[in-house]
Amino acid sequence: MRVLVTGGGGFIGGGVARRLLELGHTVRSLARGEYPELANLGIDVRRGDIANESAVESATRGCDAVIHTAAKAGVWGSRIEYERANVVGTRNVIGACHKGGCGLLVFTSSPSVVFDGRHQENVDESAPYPGRFLASYPRTKAEAERLVLEANSPNLATVALRPHLVWGPGDRNLVPRVLERAHAGSLRSVRERSGQSRLVDSTFIDNAVEAHELALQSIARSGTARGKAYFISNGEPLPMEELLNRILEAAGLPAIRRTVSPLMAYTAGAVLECVSALLHRCKEPPMTRFVARQLATAHWFDLSAARRDLGYRPGVSLAEGFQRLEAWLRSTSPGLKAFPWCN
């Protein structure tokens, strides 16, 4: 199969592209940067922006399937930038599939598309989109997911995956952010007065990659998963504080010692957002309202649908994942110099 991976230079996209290549597929990548390491593997690397309609059409031409992982992530930035990358980009991908006769589309979504600020405990895919979002990222990802699922038709089979907190060797987001803040002495645990830290799901990178492969196989051979969204995780929820401490332990750093209440975290997020907006700062504030709510609430999901329809079974446990993470961190140079994207 000839497969285009948008965002092939990213953490999930790169993993998906490599996996598909290993399975014998012909793989093309569309990303904004230069990724010679992908080209050296035999991947057809195209440079372009998914918000550029002609670039997307050119990259999609001749492909049988698209795995659309490209997006503007994070929780801080221009509303227009999020719209451009996540909504316009996804609309371009759908349009390119129709024009180029590409019949399969797997979309990388996020559980945040159904997050309304409250606890998500054993939530399944029947959860509705909220009426109000706390940040541009979940709002635009929800709009993009809707576009993808509504585009499902006899000519274009679509499916959306919602992997939660993807981490592992090569991570450019969660792990480096945790380590950066730990080194800076600014890492805190958000706890209720009872001292309780709510359970959260996370996803080891290999399992997220496997889910994309399974989703592509599923919509290629049957209609069961077509037009549907699926939560993806390791299925091993941990208290948020324990998850962060396991990452710190893998890096040889001490556990979190300081805590703040959910109210204090949310208030700090609101104040810091206002200050950053007034000063026109592009860098994400140390805390935002969305992050405060995420840290203070439970996020774990019912994976029954993914198991039933996709045959999804997480192959790498959290225990094994943390061992692999520790080995990777040991193989990199010490300190934050190993994570230039944090600087």
As given in the structure block, the two tokens for residue 337 are 């110099």
Q: Are strands 228-232 and 65-68 parallel, antiparallel or unpaired?
A: unpaired
Helix (H) or strand (E) holding 238: strand 238-239
Q: Which residue has the tokens 């996709």?
A: 310
Angle between helices 318-331 and 240-250 (to 10 degrees): 40
Give the end-to-end CA distance of the chain in Å, rounded to a whole number.
39
Q: What angle, rounded to 10 degrees, do the helices at 174-184 and 240-250 form?
A: 80
Rounded distance between C-alpha atoms, residue 122 and residue 142, angstroms: 20
Token readout for 171 is 């991570």
Q: Which residues contact 194 (CB under 8 A, 6 or more apart)?
A: none
Residues designated catalytic: 137
CA distance 317 to 239: 16
Burial of 65 per CB tally in 10 Å (0-12, 13-18, 19+): buried
Q: Which long-range contacts (CB under 8 A, 24 or more apart) does 285-288 make?
A: 285/76, 286/181, 286/186, 288/75, 288/76, 288/135
Read off the DSSP letter of residue 140.
H
Q: Are strands 2-6 and 65-68 parallel, antiparallel or unpaired?
A: parallel
